[in-house]
Amino acid sequence: MRFSYAEAMTQAHYYAPLAQAAEAAGYTSMTVADSLIYPKDSDSKYPYTDTGDREFLDGKEFIETMILCAHLFAVTSTLRLTPFVLKLPVRPPVLVAKQASSLAFLSGNRLGLGVGISPWPEDFANLGVDWAKRGKRMDECMDILRGLTTGEFFSYSGEFYEVDELKQCPGATERIPLLVGGHADAALRRAVRKGDGWMHAGGDGEELDRLLTRLAEIRAEEGDTRGPDEFEIHVISYDAYTLDGVKRLEDKGVTDCIVGFRVPYIKGPDTEPLDTKIKHLEQYAESIIAKA
């Protein structure tokens, strides 16, 4: 079992010392959140909270995800970074491929690229991308990332994108894992067909079990026989906070536990001191990671 430290919507200058502390404590990776805009007026609902409110995002310091990854890679040496998740189809895929290859190359292949479809129509509207057929657009973006990040000549002709035969150097020296986020059946199938793993966004244990069961069914339907080294399953679960629970998750095929130590969905600034955050992540590492 691997362990990812999650902290989001806190003070931006905390991320570097938190990444360094997580690396020193023995975490495999750290998640990096993605948020592009906060519209003043919106009827959109957030899909991963009970109320659907999104006001907790107002005023939070979000450094652009790929830029923050570059910063954190520069101050660490072994820690993996996992965008959780990059809103892929609102971005130009050729540019994302260049960013991902560059990050992987400079970091020694420490990027696990979590990708997903933004739940906000406003993201699409303000970035000049059509909301319709966003799933198909997502599939094409993943195809382009997969082809261009090799550093070899690649061309593409799809419904939404045309890429001339070209290469981007340097390419990643190892395959960049594409980890698909989302709970819809289409997202689970996309993770199997086009990705190297799936990222769970939270919820109760019963719902997680349903999603893991459905993911296994889809893998069987698709003839996917990849092992845990080739297909990653990242989950958020209360089971991750006990040794017996970690074993239960491992028995269910989970490869990576995502753990955090506060509820980030709060209005207003995060007032928890940096020292407290570091103490929490270190205590977990001592009681769980070191023994698991």
Report pLDDT digits (tens) over 225-267. 999 999 999 999 999 999 999 999 999 999 999 999 999 999 9
Question: Which residues are registered as beta bridge partners of 82?
Answer: 31
Per-residue pLDDT at 198: 98
> Chain centroid to CA 127: how far?
21
- For range 187-204, the mean pLDDT: 97
Q: Strand 80-83 relative to strand 29-32: parallel, antiparallel, unpaired?
A: parallel
d(CA 102, CA 86): 16
Provide the pLDDT confidence category of residue 46 given band limits of 50, 70 and 90.
confident
Identify the burial level of 16 via C-beta atoms within 10 angstroms of its C-beta, where 0-12 means exposed, 13-18 middle and 19 or more buried. Answer: middle
Q: Strand 154-157 relative to strand 162-166: parallel, antiparallel, unpaired?
A: antiparallel
CB 134 within 8 A of CB 117: yes
Residues 6+ apart with CB under 8 A from 169: 151
Per-residue pLDDT at 41: 87
Per residue in 155-195, pLDDT (tens digit) is 999 999 999 999 999 999 999 999 999 999 999 999 999 99
- For range 38-58, the mean pLDDT: 84
143 sits in which H/E element:
helix 134-148
Provide the pLDDT confidence category of residue 53 given band limits of 50, 70 and 90.
confident
CA of 12: how far to CAs of 110, 138, 148, 180, in Å? 21, 29, 31, 25
Q: What is the pTM of this model?
A: 0.96
Strand segments (E) across the chain = 2-5, 29-32, 80-83, 86-87, 113-116, 154-157, 162-166, 178-181, 197-199, 232-235, 256-259
d(CA 97, CA 7): 25
CB 175 within 8 A of CB 113: no
CB atoms within 10 A of CB 264: 15
Q: Strand 256-259 relative to strand 232-235: parallel, antiparallel, unpaired?
A: parallel
Edge to edge, the sheet with strand 86-87 lists 80-83, 29-32, 2-5, 256-259, 232-235, 197-199, 178-181, 113-116, 86-87
Whole-angstrom Cα Rg for the chain: 18
Per-residue pLDDT at 63: 98
Per-residue pLDDT at 196: 98
- With 90 as the cut, is the pLDDT of residue 290 above it? yes
- With 80 as the cut, is the pLDDT of residue 216 above it? yes
CB 86 within 8 A of CB 116: yes
Per-residue pLDDT at 13: 98
d(CA 224, CA 37): 37
Per-residue pLDDT at 49: 73
- For range 136-161, the mean pLDDT: 98
Share of the chain above pLDDT 90, in %: 93
CA of 161: how far to CAs of 99, 109, 140, 144, 166, in Å? 18, 27, 7, 9, 14
